[in-house]
Structure formats: C-alpha cells, structure tokens
Amino acid sequence: MLKFLQKIGKSLVLPIAVLPIAGLMLRLGQADVITALNFIPFVDQILPYFGSAGSAIFDNLPMLFAVGVAVGLSDDQNGASALAGLVSYLTLTHITVTYWGINFEEAIATTLNISFLGGILAGIIGGLSYNKFRGVRLPEFLAFFGGRRAVPIMAGIISVVIAIPLAMIWPSIQGGLTEASMGIAGFGAFGAAFFAFFNRLLLPLGLHHVFNSFFWFQLGDFAGATGDLNRFFAGDPTAGHFMAGFFPIMMFGLPALALAMYFAAKKHKRKAVAGMLLSLALTSFLTGVTEPLEFLFIFLSPVLLVAHAVLSALSMFITDSLGVLHGFTFSAGAIDYMLNFSLATKPLLILAVGAGMAGLYFTVFYTLIVKLNLPTPGRENDEDMLEEPEQQLSYTEQELYEHYVTGLGGATNIVKVDNCATRLRLDVVDSDLIDEGALKKLGAKGVMKLNKTTAQVIVGTQVEFVADGIKAVLKK
C-alpha cells in the first residue's frame, strides 16, 4: 500500500510543476494586491487577468490530479489513460452532486465536493483501467470499441458504480467534521492547535476545506461579520486565533522543509532538484500556496504527514499562547503578512516563531527522510548509478539517439521503450545484446538487465528526451 501511495505521489509531480507560477499569478490578481499597487499605471486593468489565469489552474486542480495520477499509474503513460482519468473525474463529481440534488456549479461553490480525493480516486480508476482493459479484444462488429478505446468507457462505468455509495456517505463525513469543528473552537490555544493538526492531516483528502469553513467563516460574530477571517478584517480585536499560526509554517517551516529535501537528496542529484524545490519554497513563502510542496511528501510516508500536522499544531499553539493575532484574505504568505501587518496584534513575534519553526522543520524532516530512507525528490533508488558517467562522446542529438539504438542491440532487439523519472525501461528480444560500455560512453550512468527480455538504462533527468529520440529513430 505504501509503495502504491508513493507511486501516486510521484504521479502528482507533473501537475504540481505548474502550480508555483499559477499560485503567484492568482495572488497578484487579488483585490488587496491590486489596491496596494494602484499607484502603478494600468495595474488595476492588468492584474485581474493574472488572477484569472491562476484561478483557472487552482479551480481545476482535482481534475489535473486525476489526469496526472492516471498517466503515472498507467504502464506506458499513453494518452488514453489521461482521458480515462478525466472521464472518471467528471463521472464521479457529477453523479455525487446529482445525488445531493444540486447542480455542479452550486457544488463547486460550496464545500459539498469531493475535491482532491475525487481527483486522486479518478486518477487511480483511470490508470488501473488502462492497464487492465487496453488489450481487450471484442467481436468484429464491436471491434471499434476494443483496445485503448475501451479504457475510458470502462473507467466511466466503474466510476458510476463507485460514485453512488460515495455520494451517500460524503455528506455525513462533512457533517461530522463540522460538528467536530464546533467542539474544538472552545479550547483556547489547545483548540487552535487541534484545528491546525486536523487541517493538515485532512489535506490529502481535500477535507481541510470543510474543516476551515466553520472556523474562518462561521465562528463568532462582530458587527455582523462572522468567522475568524471576516471578523479580523471587520476590526474585531479578538479575531485571528485560527490564522496567525499558519504564517510561521508557510513562510518559514515549509521552505525549511524544501531545504531539508535538498540536503537529503543524493549529491549527484541535488542540482536536478534544486530549481524545483526553490520555486516551491518561494511560492509557499510569498503566497502561502503550500499544496505544490506538500504533495511531494504527504503520500511518501504517513510519518511525514503526521510530523507536518504536529509541527503545524505546535506553531498554532505557540502563537496563540503569545497573544499573536494575524489574518489573511488569501493565505498565510509574506504578501498577506505585510499587507495586513497594521491590523495584526504582535505581528513581529511571527518572525521569531517562524525562525524556530524553520529549525524544527529542517531537523525533523531531514532526520525522518534519511533515517527512514524515504524516496523524496533526489533520493530515488538508483544505488547502482555511477557518481559520474564515463566520458561522453560528442554527437548531435540525432546521432546520439541512433547510437543509443545501436547500443541497445539494434532496432530489431527493441520491443518497447518507456521511461520513468530517470530511467529507460525496455522490453527487448535479448538483453545480452545490450552493450553497456557503449551506452555509458553516450552518457548513461548504468545498465540493469533484469532478465532475458527486460532491462533498464539509467540516464538521469534527461531521460524523457532520450526515450522520445529513440522512439523517433525506431519509427523511421
């Protein structure tokens, strides 16, 4: 099960890659930022388009997860698996909201939607349906619907079967979380800590939005404004208990976690992951958009998810105990911290708490990743990879791919070419025909002959281009 969850986590890397820039554009398009930058000519006319562009991604994030997981779980990353994931997601979401008796737009506007869980579940259905049904042969008069065309059809049918019981239990799950929220609210600093703990713990299922809604939009009343968030901006001096503790996490803790992932990566892989981790850390710090970074690790190990939830609870407990009150309209990033600084109580203490949380996050996550040997980015299981490839000969791209084909035993020896994050995955006629020395001279870092007909060539982060180049040569 853990290996399966880790495969889902790796599948999410592709859709996650687009989120940092989307998060920044979404934040720049918010009304408070536009107002703050109103001294710049035409900013009020330009930034709303940035917001719309970012919103287009985040409003459809579960759908992107459905496609990403489906492709990641499929045997050969064929486009039919992506279509199956999309069909499954649309089927799941529309059937559940039909059961609830409201239309789809109303469901998206409320908390009655299956969010991330629906996207990931749809991706699993799509990917596994592809692996199961892509080779289905039907009678001649139905042959058009056989093979890969059968995949989205079967994914849709399976989704119908799953969606009906899911629709029956989902409102009860959300109702139970709302009741739990009401019970937690009266426990002071401990209540704030419990809120942060469950807020992060429910993240993989998307149910944290349900949990948030009571605290941020319903709890308490001040001059007609309800909820911790609305009361804070209405001037309530007692509001901000359930928001302030997130600033140290999103501005300091999670960027430190990204740094821990960098130092936990293998030395020869650090350059490859540095750019991604830096962009995710900056996104968390500036905008408070944390999902791109969190989805890199929450499926790798339950221990990492629980550690994140516990440290979030600790941050919330400390800030509330110190009397720190702060709020945000978007999320707890540096932009909101500065824009709402004048409305906050003891906001400078957030920086001190943040420094402490950064140290804790780095120490805890670095230790857990290394001690548990978790495959976070840059720690993939490539122990057989050489620290440095042999001297690479100088070729044009076309010549390089042609020599790869030769090194693999020639075109007649290659049955199928696929790739993962760093490796070529090959089905061959005879793995003994593969020339390991020739491939290393081309830049490959290692060769694994798993059996007579299966082999892997460790290429590195450029593997996708090499795989596509080999396929192009074979097609010719």
237 to 32, 221, 231: CA distances (angstroms)? 21, 12, 9
Nearest to 82 by CA among 100, 101, 63: 63
Distance CA 120, CA 61 (A): 10
Asked if 27 and 286 touch (Cβ cutoff 8 Å), the reply is yes
Distance CA 298, CA 476 (A): 43
Active site residue 420: yes
The answer for 126, left when phi > 0, alpha when psi is -120 to 50, beta otherwise, is alpha
Q: Which DSSP category does 396 fall into?
A: -
What tokens appear for 303 in the block? 């221990």
260 to 107, 173, 278, 304, 460: CA distances (angstroms)? 39, 35, 12, 12, 22
Distance CA 343, CA 346 (A): 10
> 262 CB contacts (<8 Å, ≥6 apart)?
270, 273, 274, 277, 378
**Residue 186, Cβ density class (10 Å: 0-12 exposed, 13-18 middle, ≥19 buried):** exposed
Helix (H, G, I), strand (E, B) or coil at 188: helix
Nearest to 198 by CA among 171, 172, 219, 179: 179
In degrees, to the nearest 5, what angle opens at C-alpha 124 toward C-alphas 123 and 126?
Answer: 60
> 357 CB contacts (<8 Å, ≥6 apart)?
248, 249, 252, 253, 256, 311, 314, 315
Which residue is catalytic, options 153, 420, 421, 438?
420
- Kindly state the helix (H) or strand (E) to which residue 448 belongs, with its residue range: strand 446-449
Active site positions, annotated: 420
